[in-house]
Amino acid sequence: MSEASRSEANSPQDWNALAERVACHVDNYLNGLEAVARGDGGTHTVPLLLLEVSQVILAGAQLGASADVILPDNWEPEIGDDPDLDAVRTGLAERLGALDEYVEVFDPYKDTEPTSYRLSDDLVDVASDLVHGLRHYNQDRPLEALWWWQYSYFNHWGNHAGASLRALHAFVANDRLAVAQEAAVAQ
């Protein structure tokens, strides 16, 4: 898509529609993360987190495929302190246990050594960026929300969500494939 057609495709109505879609994904992610942190996921904690991260990455892909969001005054109004998400981080760490820590080459174009990360940290880092934009959206400033979500997607939460997705996917895939292999051997 050419730059001109991308700009034409992002009229104020389009921005509002995109902001509404992203806000819905953000709400779902935040609610899902809080539910899992409380223990509502039971034995399905990891698959549910895989679903939540996958869905919020869809919102990020929509932001990445959109034209750059530019604020008219090129500044972000102050909205106060973001909520403290440490209880969510702690709850996730407790639910994930030994699965919380994983190894990742965070930027395959710049990093050469794997680094240790925690899913609970990454998932809450994503939530923190998303909730900040949601606060703009809830104050009837959808363009500011989009600007923040897009900027932080490229700068921060997109990497953390992608790394989390790979770790969660690896666990679910290994778990399911191990069961399939055990069943095949038992026959």
Q: How far apart are CA 69 and CA 150, in angstroms?
A: 7
Q: Give me the phi and psi of 104, to 5 degrees please.
A: -150, 145
Residues 55, 25 contacting (CB under 8 angstroms):
yes
- pLDDT tens-digit readout, 91-128: 999 999 999 999 987 677 887 888 899 999 999 999 99
- Architecture per CATH, domain 3-186, reads as Up-down Bundle (1.20)
Reduce the DSSP state of residue 118 to 3 states and report it: strand
From the list 10, 1, 25, 5, the residue with the least C-alpha distance to 149 is 25
Residue 1 has pLDDT above 60, yes or no: no
**Residue scoring higher pLDDT (163 or 74):** 163
pLDDT computed for residue 11 by the predictor: 62
Q: In angstroms, what is the C-alpha Rg of the chain?
A: 18
Residue 103's SS3 state is strand
Reported as a pLDDT band with limits 50, 70 and 90, residue 71 is: confident
Structure-derived torsion over alpha carbons of residues 110, 113, 114, 116, reported in degrees to the nearest 10: -100
How is the chain split into domains, by residue range? Answer: 3-186
Residue type, 77: P
Apex CA 24: angle with CA 50 and CA 165, to 5°? 20
- Residue carrying the six token digits 């407790």: 94
Q: In the predicted model, what is the mean pLDDT of residues 119-147?
A: 96
CA distance 106 to 99: 18
Name the percent of the chain in helix, strand, coil, to the closest 5: 75, 5, 20
Of residues 27 and 105, which shows the higher confidence score? Answer: 27
Q: Which residues pair with 102 in a beta bridge?
A: 117
Share of the chain above pLDDT 90, in %: 70
